Amino acid sequence: MRIGPYQLASNTVVAPMAGVSDRPFRELCRSFGAGLAVSEMVAANPALWATRKSRQRMDHDGEPGPISVQIVGTEPARLADAARASVDLGAQIVDINMGCPAKKVCRVAAGSALLCDEPLVGRILDAVVGAVGVPVTLKIRTGWDPAHRNGTRIARIAEQAGIAAIAVHGRTRACGFAGAAEYDTIRAVRQAVAIPVIANGDVDSPEKAARVLAYTGADGIMVGRAAWGRPWLFAEIVHHLSTGGREPALTVEARRAVVLAHLERLHDFYGAGQGVRIARKHMAWYARGMAGSDAFREGVNRADSPTRQRQLVTAFFSTSTRPEEQLAA
């Protein structure tokens, strides 16, 4: 899949997820074959970029390209300024968020709330595309509620504005993350525009990725929550799409190495105190479905130093297996 001048190494994309898609997570997913990893969204107001959280979200030091930075806001001029500033800081692709259903985002009519105002969508896209010389991509939902699925019209507006690729999550704003994703709208979007279309929503296995691509005709797959505690899912998808087969499950030793590497990256990136706190959710995700995971999670949450977390992780992932691995043994 190509976005502007960039030929991606694979057609798998890491979804931008607030509080998850930081540089350590993006780098890890890229190491497993993800062709692109979009950053956590940053506010369109550059005055807010001085906070520690914003600085960390915009830290791409040493990250493999192309660097994709997501911006969110409601005002065309301010979003254009944010796009220019992002490029000045190293963005090679600028992504516009019109897909986030979070209440704090939608309360200010940003994210997926913008889908209710198609003329404003057009003005925003025109302003951002005209402001920068790098590809601009767009993330949307299928509409703002099941009775108003206007994803196809938004996609046509995007193509006319010069958007380089569009990612579509198969739920509406009103749906949040409830229920099952639907792919009919994504299929209609693919048929309506010539730009690359990336399908998103409920892709949690290599086989599901293949089915969604086949049904929608999409050019790429975006994976979000299914990769929590399972970044190797990207390698499994890439392998299945290229061979039709299944990669062997990671050995206990290989899984432990991945978890420890992620833990070290979090400690290094955030520093000891913040790194220990942020690592807790990731370690809990890695342990899901494994024998003794509840006690492990409690221990990791009580750990107050990188050293103690490493000890707990090393011990737990040396002995524990997921239920499906116990059955296969």
Positions annotated as catalytic residues are: 100
The one-letter code for the residue type at 34 is A
Cis, peptide link before residue 248, omega less than 30° from 0: no
Closest among 131, 127, 130 to 84, alpha carbons compared? 131
**Would the CA dihedral through 186, 189, 190, 195 be positive or negative?**
negative
Closest among 298, 257, 222 to 38, alpha carbons compared? 222
**Which two three-digit tokens encode residue 329?**
């043994």
The 8-class DSSP code of residue 114 comes to G
The one-letter code for the residue type at 142 is T
Residues linked to residue 205 through DSSP beta bridges, in sequence order: none
The 8-class DSSP code of residue 251 comes to P
Going from the C-alpha of 144 to that of each of 148, 205, 270, the distances in angstroms are 6, 27, 36
Enclosing H/E stretch for 3: strand 2-3
SS3 content of the chain, % helix, strand, coil (to 5): 50, 15, 35
Tell me the H-state helices in 17-117.
23-31, 52-57, 76-88, 103-106
Count of helices and strands (H, E) across the chain? 14, 11
**Which two three-digit tokens encode residue 24?**
């350590």
